[in-house]
Amino acid sequence: MNKFAETLTIDNAVLAMIDHQTGLLVSCRDQDPHLMTENIKGLCAMAKAVDMPTVTTASMPDGPNGPIMPEIIEILGDKVIERAGEINAWKSPEFKQAIEATGRKKIIMAGLVTDVCLMFPAISAVAEGYDVYAVVDASGTWNNAVAQASIHRMTQAGVKVATWASVLAEVMDDWRSEKGLELGGILGQHTSYRWVYNSYLQASQASQAK
């Protein structure tokens, strides 16, 4: 099968959250910051809901980049690989070993900023045989031109560019799955899909009450 036709599952992927640090957040202007925050929270909540392995890393959090945003810590826990200086997280032995330890070859990856913290490790991982899904709407950078240039370069290198909602739907696969309703709720909590989801819940409750 062509690798671009392969799909994500609960059992074949690991989530890598790279450098979502408070000092970098203030520089992200390619999308609305509140929307970006919701996208990041939704992606993390998806991984937690299906017990997907996750790896969180920060670049010199004691420096100007600051600590990992608290929303990620609240969802995924406070275990963070703090890199001493490597800009490309893939060059950090601790980060790479944490990915390898999961035994999974598909990496769902997001980072701040898109053109450095996401793009560099995404390209490096692909070069070593990993199948990387770069979640661009749970990442952010200086402006839209930079974001588009990053997407083009990652695509040229064989990275799969994705969005968090499409990743969630791909992992869910079927509304009738064990996690279907819970994942639908996460989508409803962090996107405008909430109106559809809430209408469905209300209709279901009304039907059960009869």
Q: Where are the domains of the chain?
A: 3-172
Q: Contacts from 63-67 at CB under 8 Å and sequence distance 24+?
A: 63/23, 64/23, 65/19, 65/21, 65/23, 65/24, 66/21, 66/22, 66/23, 66/24, 67/21, 67/22
d(C-alpha 119, C-alpha 121), whole Å:
6
pLDDT of residue 127: 98
The one-letter amino acid at 80: V
CATH superfamily of the domain spanning 3-172? Isochorismatase-like (3.40.50.850)
Separation of alpha carbons 206 and 210, rounded Å: 7
For 66, half-sphere exposure in the C-beta direction (CA atoms, 13 angstrom radius) is 12
3-state secondary structure of 68: strand
The span from the CA of 96 to the CA of 150, in Å, is 22
Tell me: the pLDDT tens digits for 35-73?
Answer: 999 999 999 999 999 999 999 999 999 999 999 999 999
Q: Of 49, 68, 98, 117, which is the active-site residue?
A: 117
pLDDT of residue 1: 56
Kindly report, residue by residue over 109-161, the tens digit of the pLDDT. Answer: 999 999 999 999 999 999 999 999 999 999 999 999 999 999 999 999 999 99
pLDDT at position 25 over 90: yes
Q: Is 44 a catalytic residue?
A: no
The pLDDT of residue 195: 76
pTM, entire model: 0.94
